[in-house]
Structure 1
Amino acid sequence: MNRITTDICIIGAGSGGLSIAAGAVQMGARVVLIEGGEMGGDCLNAGCIPSKALIAAAKAAQAMRDGARFGITPTEPEVDFAAVKDHVASVIETIAPVDSQERFEGLGVRVIRDWARFTGPDEVAAGEYLIKARRFVIATGSRPLVPPIPGLDSVPSLTNETIFALRDRPGHLLIIGGGPIGMEMAQAHRRLGCQVTVIEGGRAFGRDDPEMAAIVLENLRAEGVEILEGAEVTGLSGQAGDITLALKDGRSVQGTHLLLAVGRKVHLEGLNLEAAGVKHDRKGVTVGADLRSSNRRVYAVGDAAGGLQFTHVAGYHAGVVVRQIVLGLPAKSTTRHIPWVTYTDPELAQVGLTEAEARKAHGSAVTVLRQAFAHNDRAQAEGKPKGLLKVMVVKGRPVGASIVGLQAGELIGLWAFAIASRAKLSAIAGMVAPYPTLGEISKRAAGAYFSPKLFDNPMLKGFVRLVQKILP
């Protein structure tokens, strides 16, 4: 085998791995990057990018149906499903060069396109190469979880890795799983002309604030998405074009296509982590706040680190690891300032603690600020007044924010910054937001925290009356 000695060996060319490779090599470290699948990982090829491209197409279709309130005659769009998928592929193709092997080799990274496996605590084999490194980073991401449902092995099914290649429009798409992936795909396919039924064993949007989730669910149901909550699937039968799901309560649901969206499984298969002395479990590699594993040479980032499974978390982890293995500086990760967004219409966003979590952690010290989108002039002008911002505050500082409504994913960024920087609400209340913008919602919410002290204060009112008497 060909032997390579390097400073850093990264396993996985998704968001986390690519960010570390680019940063490390440009600062002078020798870097080997190993990828057995596609450059760019799940996010580029089967996750964030194709799903948002599909959602954008679906949004355009829905706009044709929703023109009446603007004085535009509504019409049912003619959807060319294959052309929609061409749009999705085009978006991926446009972004792909940024993550390509050619770009990273141009930066000076040694890229090996094969599957990696540890052969010892400081050595990895990949294809015809044996790589010895001072530090390793596991950035292998995750794969769709396939649930152990009787009959699934004989019934054709889709996951996020295969649904974007589907060029014929499903007649009736059955989706098992009412989380972000399931709900985004449900609304997008419904808007593109499919009948859609979502089957969720627990509560849809189970990890989000129930009050906020209810607003999204109401809109999805109004658009014709059937959502069955508390419905456990006990069996599957049928063939392509005619699939039946048996539910625990005795009901059955029939459709033409099946999408599995019940979660994700960390991809550690074949790495031979035992040979490297790296502890792990079904959640991922066991790491500390510094993202270092039980083998001091080995770090894990993103989904492989066993925490929040978001592309931006992998990118954040990359910065934490680069600081340590490239610059030799201490760094630790935290999740308190990590936002997430579900890109339904309306969007659903969260950062920090939900209301329930904040009350459990801080009790009566929590103040919950509420600001309805209906009171925002821009939301009214856009015809999207249905939405709500909730900010959880402790001692004048936000500890969490939940947003449902138009562009919630854009609005949550301010609150993520505020929590990360431990900013006080006074800083946001003092911000000048252009009018009319959705950003005024955040400013008004922050201002509401001080309103009782200004407007319901007898001493202040007495002082103001005195000032008015003595002013010349």
Structure 2
Amino acid sequence: MSTIETDICVIGAGSGGLSVAAGAVQMGAKVVLLEGHLMGGDCLNFGCVPSKALLAAGHKAHETSEAAFGVAGHEPSPDYAAAKDHVQAVIDEIAPVDSQERFEGLGVHVIREFGRFISESEVQAGAHTIKARRFVIATGSRPFVPPIPGLDTVEYHTNETIFDLRERPDHLIIIGGGPIGMEMAQAHRRLGSRVTVLEGAKAMGKDDPEAAAIVLDNLRAEGIEIVEGALASQIKGSDGSVTVETKDGASYEGSHLLMAVGRAVNVDKLDLEKAGVEYDRSGVKVGDDLRSTNKRVYAVGDVAGGAQFTHVAGYHAGVIIRPMLFGLPAKARKDHIPWATYTSPELAQVGLTEAEAKEQHGDNVFIAKAEFEHNDRGIATGQTKGFVKVMVVKGKPVGATIVGPQAGELIGIWSLAIANKLKMSAVANMIAPYPTLGEINKRAASAYFTPKLFDSALVKKVVRFVQRFGRP
């Protein structure tokens, strides 16, 4: 057993852990990084990267099938195994950025073992004991698999196994109607599978209902069966067949099953009690500074108990670097964090939804809205479905919802505005190239000022006065 003393010990080599390790070591700190599974974590290997790669393959097949702009469409012949080759190729191309070799080249001491606390200032990883001034828990999350009777008797997939499947499912049943379920539903439908989504409550229930309805209508139009209020009560199956029974007595039969009902944080192997770190099923209990009940220990990303997005983990890493390396105070915010579901059309959100804004601010909320059907680039490319909706309080955006083409790209400007407490005039004054989808954000900002300018008796009186008495 060897003992290693270091400034910072990072547990977990996903997005958050890698960002902390890279930033800290390049600014002069000694860093030990522990990873008992795959470098790059869930996002690179099982999550964001492979899912977007598979969606891209599905999009290509769908694009081929549609006749548009004088070009005839034809029945696509998607090769499911080749699509999975594309997924793996994308992972392989990105992997070197997250590799052990790269981080060792930066000066990080990488140990490929799981870490667990043995005291408030020590972690054991394999044959190593690491003593550190600061620890960062960045262990992420894993698929949550509910205890549905019969599930343990059938073969099922999660996001950790579905990308290894080489034979296209004839009929994929997905339990869970959130972002993961909907993205995988569309990808598989466009690659030739029949798809049924069973959601115990409301599909895309955490999103703005007006925006979610547009996505769900489009998915149904593509042939995806989406059943809401369908709580799974029993699962049965045999080779090549699985049957899901729901509490309302309905039964759904398919060839493959994907569980997509949520995430469980990875805290069970850490022995946090020995470190004096409090936690619950949602993650490590941290303050706004992301410190746990043990002031030596920080938590970032999914395991910090908040929004479970890769970019949040990266943001958290930037927050804790300041106090760990420079002794400066820093707190994590939540109001400017965007997220997106990469279906077609995409759905993106930052800050408060319309319902949340009205609940918090009442009649002080102004809803500024612009439709893609009035965006010239959208008209030219046949992408007119959707809208931008901005929640405004006292001249500043407090939230934005976008559903439509490239919503995940377009939401960034509203995150920028909220993060920097900009007024709507900052976006209205922006000049966007013509014609671009980005003009819709400017149009939404302008919609905030329209009634103030065109419906104002005072404005009209001033204009008449200037026209009558002003200099020619």
Q: In which range does the TM-score fall when normalised by the shorter chain?
A: over 0.9
Match of 2:287 in 1: 288
Pairing 1:303-342 to 2, within 5 Å after superposition = 303-342=302-341
How far did residue 324 of structure 1 move? 1.0
Kept in 2, the 8 Å contact 1:240–1:257? The answer is no
Shift of 1:377: 0.6
- Give the deviation of 1:268 after TM superposition: 1.0
1:33 corresponds in structure 2 to 33
**Which consecutive segments of 4 or more residues in structure 1 shift more than 4 A?**
none
Q: CA deviation at 1:465?
A: 2.2
CA displacement, residues 237-263 of structure 1 (integer Å, 9 cap, x when unaligned):
012311000011111000000000000
Question: Cα distance, 1:407 vs. partner?
Answer: 0.3
The 2-side partners of 1:92 and 1:443 are apart by 36
SS in structure 2 of the partner of residue 469 of structure 1: helix
For residues 210-262 of structure 1, what are the alpha-carbon distances to aligned partners after superposition, in whole Å with 9 as ceiling and x for unaligned? 00000000000000000000111100001231100001111100000000000
CA distance, structure 2, for counterparts of residue 281 and residue 84 of structure 1: 39
**Matched residues in 2 for 1:351 and 1:80: separation?**
36
Opposite residue 313 of structure 1, the aligned amino acid is V
Q: 1:116 aligns to what?
A: 115
**Aligned partner of residue 411 in structure 2, secondary structure:** helix
The letter of the residue matching 2:153 is S
Which residue is equivalent to 1:425? 424
Q: Which residue of 2 is the match for residue 349 of structure 1?
A: 348
Equivalent-residue separation in structure 2 for 1:137 and 1:463 (angstroms): 60
The answer to whether the aligner puts 1:240 opposite 2:239 as a matched pair is: yes
Contact kept in structure 2, 1:141 and 1:303, CA below 8 Å:
yes
| Partner in structure 2 of residue 141 of structure 1 | 140
1:55 — aligned with what?
Answer: 55
Give the distance between the partners of 1:465 and 1:89, measured in 2 at CA: 66
Deviation of 1:175 (Å) = 0.1
1:21 alignment counterpart: 21
Unaligned runs of 5+ in 2: none
Q: Which residue of the partner structure matches residue 190 of structure 2?
A: 191
* Contact 1:340-1:349 within 8 A present in 2 as well: yes
Partner residue, 1:6 = 6
Partners of 1:297 and 1:12 lie apart in 2 by 17
- Aligned equivalent of 2:301: 302
Q: Secondary structure at the match of 1:147?
A: coil
User: Does structure 2 retain, via aligned residues, the 8 Å contact 1:144–1:261?
Assistant: yes
- Scaled by the length of structure 1, what TM-score is found? 0.99
- Report matched runs for 1:249-260 at 5 Å: 249-260=248-259
Report 1:200-211 matches (<5 A): 200-211=199-210
Aligned mates of 1:352, 1:463 — CA distance in 2:
37
Contact 1:204 1:229 in 2 (8 A): yes
SS at match of 2:318: helix
Cα offset, 1:304, TM superposition: 0.7
Distance in 2, matches of 1:137 and 1:453, equals 50
- Could you say what secondary structure the match of 2:172 adopts? strand
Query: Residues 48-106 of structure 1, C-alpha deviation per residue, up to 9 Å, x if partnerless?
Result: 0000000001100000111x232111111111111110100000000000000000000
SS of aligned partner of 1:333: coil
Separation in structure 2 between the aligned mates of residue 345 and residue 23 of structure 1, nearest angstrom? 35
Deviations 1:101-144 (A, max 9, x none): 00000000000001111110000000110000000000000000
CA deviation after TM superposition for structure 1 residue 46, in Å = 0.3
Matching of residue 393 in structure 1 with residue 392 in structure 2: yes
Q: Comparing 101-110 with 69-78, which one deviates more in the overlay?
A: 69-78
Paired with 2:362 and 2:466, the residues of 1 have a C-alpha distance of 39
Give the corresponding residue for 2:153. Answer: 154
Partners of 2:307 and 2:44 in 1: CA distance: 18
Is 1:462 aligned to residue 461 of structure 2?
A: yes
Deviation at 1:359, TM superposition (A): 0.2
Q: What's the counterpart of residue 128 of structure 1?
A: 127
Question: Counterpart in 1 of 2:86?
Answer: 87
Which residue is equivalent to 2:370? 371
| Separation (CA, whole Å) in 2 of partners of 1:457 and 1:196 | 52
Q: Which residue number in structure 2 is paired with residue 358 of structure 1?
A: 357
Distance 1:115 1:381 in 2: 53
CA-CA distance at 1:449 after TM superposition: 1.0
Moved more, 445-454 or 115-124: 445-454
Q: Distance in 1 between matches of 2:441 and 2:358?
A: 21
Task: Give the residue type in structure 2 aligned to 1:247.
Answer: T
Displacement of 1:269 in angstroms is: 1.8
1:462 Cα shift? Answer: 2.4
| Equivalent residue letter for 1:302 | G
Q: CA deviation at 1:327?
A: 1.5
Conserved 8 A contact 1:348-1:409:
yes
d(CA) in 2 for partners of 1:236, 1:195: 19
Map of 1:277 onto structure 2: 276
Alpha-carbon contact 1:346-1:404 (below 8 Å) kept: yes
Q: Which residue of 1 aligns with 2:46?
A: 46
Partner of 1:105: 104
CA contact (8 A) 1:292 1:299 kept: yes
Counterparts of 1:436 and 1:16, CA distance in 2 = 37
- Give the CA deviation at 1:469: 2.9
Q: How far, CA to CA, are the matches of 1:367 and 1:220 in structure 2?
A: 31
Q: Which amino acid aligns with 1:242?
A: S
Does the CA contact (< 8 Å) of 1:8 and 1:30 recur in 2?
Answer: yes
1:314 CA displacement: 0.1
Contact 1:174 1:257 in 2 (8 A): yes
* Separation in structure 2 between the aligned mates of residue 429 and residue 42 of structure 1, nearest angstrom: 39
Residue 267 (structure 1) aligns with:
266
**1:466 shift after superposition:** 2.6
Q: For 1:462 and 1:80, how far apart are their aligned partners in 2? A: 67
Distance 1:21 1:269 in 2: 23
Matched residue, 2:450: 451
Larger deviation, residues 326-335 vs 308-317: 326-335
Instruction: Give secondary structure in 2 for the equivalent of 1:334.
Output: coil
How many residues are aligned here? 471
Counterparts of 2:360 and 2:183, CA distance in 1: 31
